[in-house]
Amino acid sequence: MGHFKEIKLINFRNFRNYQIEFSKNCNVFFGDNGSGKTNLLESIYLFGKGRGIRKDSVNNLIKKGENEFSNFSFFEDKKKLYEVKVNSEYTNNKYIKKISLNNDCAKDAIDYLYSFYSFLIFLPETERLLVSPPSFRRNFIDSFIFSKDYNYNKLINKYKRNIVERVKVLNLQNYDEVWLNKLEENISELGLKIYKSRKVQVEAIHNHISLLNNHERLPFKLTIKLNDEFNFNNLDIENYCKALKHSRHIDKITGGAKKGPHKSEYIFLVEENFMASQLSTGQQKTIILLLFLAQSNYLVKECNLNPILLMDEICSHLDDINRRLLLNIIQDFNLQIFMTGTEKNLFSFLSTNTNFCNINI
């Protein structure tokens, strides 16, 4: 199992010069609000592909009054030690994130680095997954796909860019019909790939919840259903393009696309027909932990990946059932896990070999 051994932060967020060592298993950061617990999680996540946990711009990661940040870590995989660095770099009048493996910034080196690990992230707002707008659940499903396929975000971003470009063309007084048709073909092809990726992911959650239920009786039988009339069984590029062409007038007015995976709604049900959003807050937390449990099982057992779990303020609404599920995630998969909370005693249910870190700077 690969794991981060330590991290050193220089001018990152509220940290000027801070170093901390990690356990290869469970790590808990505790301390007052504003001490930097979430910032530590973000510093670890930055070693992966993409932006930070908060999706913030790079210049906002730099400590106030400083010009750049640098985060250093050692990652151990199969008894080999790798030095990883992520820092800010000012180029072309903007700050960008730069990452290196053993001081090598070449694409092959970074792709090799990304093959070491993936991340699963729980944030306080994840608690509201079942009662948030549909876009939140779409993004949640997408984050799970991203945890096993770092290229998935490229697909999502390319899809969005083509939709934006199509709207620009539609608003031209005299647009090129050939170019518009090509954009709609691109949107159709990309949209179908997104539908397929999400279908595979939802099926994986269902399958691994069933597998886990065979091993240990789970609190709920969970079903995730797609509510999207456009994603009918024989949807192909030709039918997709026809639908886009038919909706050009309204899409020009609304500035988007009337149909597609960006309009999908995912409905979470328990016992096949009861809306999970109607459960109590604690029971909704149970559903969310079941999702993380199933995804961990999927990544480890089927994808040969050992995800690193980052769980911010995880201890709210932890009854006996939820503590058991969280312990299952911690104990069953031999993963490196980082959790945060305001007080150490919130994590008293964890084993004595947990690495507790009081974040006080």
Tell whether domain 132-304 is in CATH 3.40.50.150: no
CB burial of residue 229 (10 Å; 0-12, 13-18, 19+)? exposed
Distance between CA atoms of 81 and 3, rounded to whole angstroms?
10
CB 9 within 8 A of CB 46: no
Distance between CA atoms of 292 and 314, rounded to whole angstroms?
12
Distance between CA atoms of 24 and 330, rounded to whole angstroms?
12
pTM confidence score = 0.95
The one-digit pLDDT tens for each residue of the chain (361 residues) are 799 999 999 999 999 999 999 999 999 999 999 999 999 999 999 999 888 888 899 999 999 999 999 999 999 999 999 999 999 999 999 999 999 999 999 999 999 999 989 999 999 999 999 999 999 999 999 999 999 999 999 999 999 999 999 999 999 989 999 999 999 999 999 999 999 999 999 999 999 999 999 888 889 899 999 999 999 888 999 999 999 999 999 999 999 999 999 999 999 999 888 999 999 999 999 999 999 999 999 999 999 999 999 999 999 999 999 999 999 999 999 899 999 999 999 999 998 889 999 998 6
Q: How far is CA 266 from the centre of its chain?
A: 17
Homologous superfamily (CATH) of 1-117+306-361 is P-loop containing nucleotide triphosphate hydrolases (3.40.50.300)
Identical fold between 1-117+306-361 and 132-304: no
Amino acid letter for position 220:
F
Q: Where do the domains of the chain lie?
A: 1-117+306-361, 132-304
Distance between CA atoms of 124 and 64, rounded to whole angstroms?
25
- Using alpha carbons, select from 34, 32, 30, 51 the residue that is nearest to residue 42: 51
Tokens of 340: 């945060």
CB 268 within 8 A of CB 276: yes
In whole angstroms, how far apart are CA 4 and each of 100, 118, 192?
Answer: 15, 12, 37
CB 299 within 8 A of CB 146: no
Amino acid letter for position 197:
S
CB 326 within 8 A of CB 285: no
Tokens of 257: 């696309």
- For 297, other C-beta atoms within 10 Å of its C-beta total 22
